[in-house]
Amino acid sequence: MNESDKGTVIVISSHVVRGTVGNRAAVFALEALGHPVWALPTVMLPWHPGHGKSTRVAISAEDFDAMISDLIRAPWRGEVKAVLSGYLGSAAQVASVARLVSWLKAENPDLLYMCDPVCGDENGLYIAEETAVAIRDQLIPLASIATPNRFELAWLSGAPLETNAAVMEAALSLGPSRMLVTSSLSLMAGSTGNLYLSERSALLAEHRLVPNPPNGTGDLLSAIFLSRLMEGLAEERALMMATASVFEIVARTAKRGADELTLEQDAGSISTPMAMVHMRRLLHPAQTKRP
C-alpha cells in the first residue's frame, strides 16, 4: 500500500503543550505511519493533570460544534477514511462528535470510527458522569471499534470485571462488533494484556508489565491499532504489532527515566516494532453457549 493511499484520519481529543497524551500521541503515531491527520482539540492544557495543577482551556460547546459543522461541509471530507475520538470535555462535545460521525458514515458507510471512551481508571471516573453517560449512550453505539480500558468497560457496562470471561461478556453486552480492552488480565505472571473481541475472535496480547508507565499509552495504542486495521492487516497481526509498538516505547521510556512517552526518539518502534508479544486465542463466549 502506498503511503498516500492510507487515508485521512480525524482525531478528536485533548491537546497538551508539553507531553505525549491525547492528540499529541495519536497524531504523531498516525502521521508516522503515513496518514494525513485532521486534529481537533477538545481541551487544551500545559501538561497532563497528573504532573500537577495547571490551566485548563475549554473550547465552548458553541465553538466546538461550529468547527464540527465546518468539517461536515469541508470540501475535502471525502479524503476522510476514519475518525478516532478520545478525551472529550463535555456532554455537548459528545453530541457534536456523534453528529460528525453520523454525517460521515451516511456519506461513506465504510468509514471506520474508533471510540476510545476516555473516562476513568482504577480510581474511578475522572470526567463528569454526564459526559461518561453521553459517551456510553451516543458514541459507543456508533463505534466500529471501541477501546476502553478494563476500568472504563466496567463502568460503562455496570459490571465488575475480575476475569477475562467477564470482560468478554461485558464487551459483548455493550454493543460494538469489535472491542479492544486494555489493562486486561494477563495469564502470565508480571504481565498485562490487551484483549480483543470481535464477533468470532477472542485474542489476548500479553507483555511484561512496566511499572508506573507514563500517560498516553491508550491514545497511542488506539491510533496504531486503527492504522494497522486501515492498512488491511489481519486482526491478530494488527493487535500484535500495535501492542508490540506500545510496549517497546513504554519500556524504552522507562529505561530513559522520562516522565512522558519518548515518541520523538522512538518513531521506529511505531513503524517496525521488535518487542516480543505473547498471543493467545481465548474461548469466545459465543462458543460456550448452547442453542
Tens-place pLDDT, residues 223-256: 999 999 999 999 999 999 999 999 999 999 999 9
Domain count, the chain: 1
For the residues 283-288, what does the mean pLDDT come to?
82
Residue 114 gets the label, from left (phi > 0), alpha (psi -120 to 50) or beta, of beta
Indicate which CATH number applies to the domain containing 195. Answer: 3.40.1190.20
pLDDT digits 0-9 by tens, 48-72: 888 888 899 999 999 999 999 999 9
Q: Computed from CA positions of residues 38, 42, 44, 49, in that sequence, does the dihedral angle turn out positive or negative?
A: negative
pLDDT digits 0-9 by tens, 258-281: 999 999 999 999 999 999 999 999
Strands 178-184 and 191-197: antiparallel
In 3D, which of 289, 46, 23, 8 has the Cα closest to residue 168? 289
Cβ neighbors of 225 (< 8 A, separation 6 or more) are: 114, 145, 147, 180, 238, 239, 242
Domain span holding position 136: 3-288
Strands 112-115 and 145-146: parallel
The rounded percent of the chain whose pLDDT value lies above 90 is 79
What pLDDT is stored for residue 291 in this prediction? Answer: 53
pTM recorded for the entire structure: 0.95
**Cβ atoms of residues 183 and 153 within 8 Å:** no
